[in-house]
A and B are shown apart, each in its own frame.
Chain A
Amino acid sequence: MTHGPMRLDTASAGPAGVTAAAPAAAGARRRRPGRKWPAKQLLGVAGILGFLLTWEAIPRLGLIEARFLPPASEVIAALAVDLQLVAFWAAVGETLLAWFLGLASAMVLALVAGFVVGSSHFLRRFTNSTVEFLRPIPSVALIPLAVLLFGVKIQSSILLIVYAAFWQVFIQVLYGVADVDNVAMQTARSYGLPAAARVRYVVFPTALPYLMTGVRLAASVALILAITAELVIGSPGLGREIALAQSGGAISGMYALILATGLIGVLINLLMRFIERKTLSWHSSIRSEVIV
């Protein structure tokens, strides 16, 4: 919801600031694209190195015992070993499968429900109180139910993921459908576009940016829930491997797996941002033209 205006703000701050190019100190400090980029990335790398060095130093200096927090080098070595194991990739596959199936079904459900509810004023008001009540229910509350219904199978993870991801997308789709421009809609009507075509050419493009925001949020929530379900319930995947490594005393292995989940999270974030940029390239370009 907040993303529309935020993008607007940054877009207007960017080009307008550069064109001024005053020789004053403040102007020189502001963006100079050619020089800023590599420096920024170097600093980022330095930040990562600094973090790893601190991590390495803490157990080496004995601030925390190495059997509780192994040095970074050991954990990275353990991760490198993991990367060659079939079992590790199988666990990654299980986690990502649950993530994908859960996210995809939540998306389809939310899209259909959002379009149906959003397009009718009556339905929107009628369902509002129920949605506002069901939405904040934490999906971990469903863990016991999932265990009773499905046991330690992948369906348990998917149930939790679908519940958590559904609301993120559904709410955004509702906002998006409500945002349809009246003039565009009436034009479509007077040109005699049938209902299906109106949804395809008027409602869908309006709702798409909202939908993408919802999907991006839902993707990271879905990963959290996938790992949680595996950790707590014991359905197959990385989370269960973490719990096993912890109870088995394979501490470096546990940290390596946690590192792996973090990296998967980063990859998912990057992927989602990429997809968002691709699907909405037309949208932001139109916006920045209007502003300038």
Chain B
Amino acid sequence: MRIAKGVLYILGLPALLVLIWWASTLGAKSFFVPTPGTLATTFAETWFGERIFSDVAPSILRLLVGVSAAIIVGILAGLLIGSAKWLRALTEPVLEFFRAVPPPVLVPVLMLLMGISDSMKVVVIISGCIWPVLLNTVEGVRAIDGVLSDSAQTYGISGWARVRYLVLPSAGPQILAGVRQCLSIGLILMVISEMFASSSGLGFTIVQFQRSFAVPEMWSGIVILGLIGVALSFIFQFTERRILRWYHGLREVENAV
């Protein structure tokens, strides 16, 4: 009974929405809105063929490479900048500026500097995604609890051990908040770099469909981008819950008091 109710809560609204969609496309044939059935068959036909290897897989690979490089470089640079006060003061205005530049404008710049290639797209993703991770790491390192920091010093904990057991855990929640932003920006940049300058990839294919007025195919492209977004967010939430289990537990205790 309990489980049935839970399932009903999860599936109720989506089922209702699909039903409304189905009912409203039943009579009138709209050019812009395909019926659920058409969309499902087009989706299967369009994406479960060679497109998976020629367009979907390369896009996702570029996204993963770019995002992981941005996270690693961002955290390393953030640890470095965050741990020295003068370095922080020196770089802060410049970093604030780079964060404020809307990342998509980097696409034309990098097209000029690097030409149109796979590595250009990866660099676009890196250079757009790095700022939220970097700035959040700096902020997280800065806000380390003073008492903890002093205790670590008193016990002679320094170097790598200090980073591993003091800095990374206490900056962790902030860093992961940055990683979450980084993921969604990465997805945006993946699509845009392909829409702007490419001959393959998801973004390119979807724009091709739109230009040739293949409306159901275009919708199926929107759906697949959505699915990638949802998958990324699930992976992120899963990882975050594992890494920050201690933090969420702590918060629960604090909130309960």
A interface, CB within 8 angstroms of B? 2, 5-6, 9-10, 13, 17, 26, 39-40, 43-48, 50-51, 64, 68-69, 125-130, 132-145, 147-149, 220, 223-224, 226-228, 231-232, 239, 242-243, 246, 251, 254-255, 257-258, 261-266, 268-269
| Residues of B contacting A: mostly | helix
Nearest-CB distance from B124 to chain A (Å)?
12
Q: In the complex, A137→B97 CA distance in Å? A: 27
Nearest-CB distance from B218 to chain A (Å)?
5
B143 interface neighbour in A6, A138, A257, A261, Cβ under 8 Å: A6
Beta-carbon contact of B111 and A265 below 8 Å: no
Which 4 A/B pairs are nearest by Cβ-Cβ distance?
Answer: A265-B100, A144-B210, A141-B225, A136-B229
B229 interface neighbour in A138, A148, A149, A227, Cβ under 8 Å: A138
Residues of chain B in range 87-138 having any CB-CB distance to chain A below 8 Å? 89-94, 96-105, 107-109, 111-113
Q: In the complex, A76→B171 CA distance in Å? A: 37
Q: In the complex, A50→B89 CA distance in Å? A: 13
A44 and B229 contact, Cβ closer than 8 Å, known pairs A129-B13, A258-B105:
no
Q: In the complex, A26→B150 CA distance in Å? A: 9
Beta-carbon contact of A224 and B103 below 8 Å: yes
Beta-carbon contact of B14 and A262 below 8 Å: no
Beta-carbon contact of A251 and B112 below 8 Å: yes
A136 and B108 contact, Cβ closer than 8 Å, known pairs A48-B94, A125-B9:
no
Given contacts A6-B143, A223-B102, 20 further A-B contacts (CB under 8 A): A10-B143, A13-B146, A44-B90, A50-B90, A136-B232, A137-B222, A140-B188, A140-B191, A143-B191, A147-B210, A148-B213, A224-B103, A227-B102, A243-B108, A246-B108, A246-B111, A251-B112, A258-B109, A262-B101, A263-B100
Contacts of B103 in A (CB 8 A): 224
How many residue pairs at the A-B interface have CB separations less than 8 Å? 179
A to B CB contacts below 8 Å, 11 in the list: A26-B150, A47-B91, A129-B14, A135-B233, A141-B221, A143-B195, A144-B210, A231-B196, A258-B101, A262-B98, A266-B100
Contacts of A255 in B (CB 8 A): 109
Contacts of A268 in B (CB 8 A): 100
Contacts of A264 in B (CB 8 A): 100
Beta-carbon contact of B92 and A44 below 8 Å: yes
User: B4 at the A/B interface (Cβ < 8 Å)?
Assistant: no
Beta-carbon contact of A68 and B112 below 8 Å: yes
Q: In the complex, A124→B13 CA distance in Å? A: 11
Contacts of A133 in B (CB 8 A): 14, 226, 230
Beta-carbon contact of B92 and A262 below 8 Å: no
B102 interface neighbour in A13, A130, A254, A261, Cβ under 8 Å: A261
> Closest A-chain residue to B229, C-beta based?
A136
Q: In the complex, A64→B184 CA distance in Å? A: 31
Contacts of A149 in B (CB 8 A): 32
Q: In the complex, A45→B218 CA distance in Å? A: 49
Q: In the complex, A263→B102 CA distance in Å? A: 10
Beta-carbon contact of A47 and B177 below 8 Å: no
User: B58 at the A/B interface (Cβ < 8 Å)?
Assistant: no
Nearest-CB distance from B100 to chain A (Å)?
3
Nearest-CB distance from B154 to chain A (Å)?
10
Q: In the complex, A50→B95 CA distance in Å? A: 13
A148 interface neighbour in B94, B174, B215, Cβ under 8 Å: B215
Beta-carbon contact of B92 and A137 below 8 Å: no
Beta-carbon contact of B89 and A136 below 8 Å: no
Query: Which of B109, B150, B196 neighbours the largest number of chain A CB atoms within 10 Å of its CB?
Result: B109
Contacts of B206 in A (CB 8 A): 141, 143-144
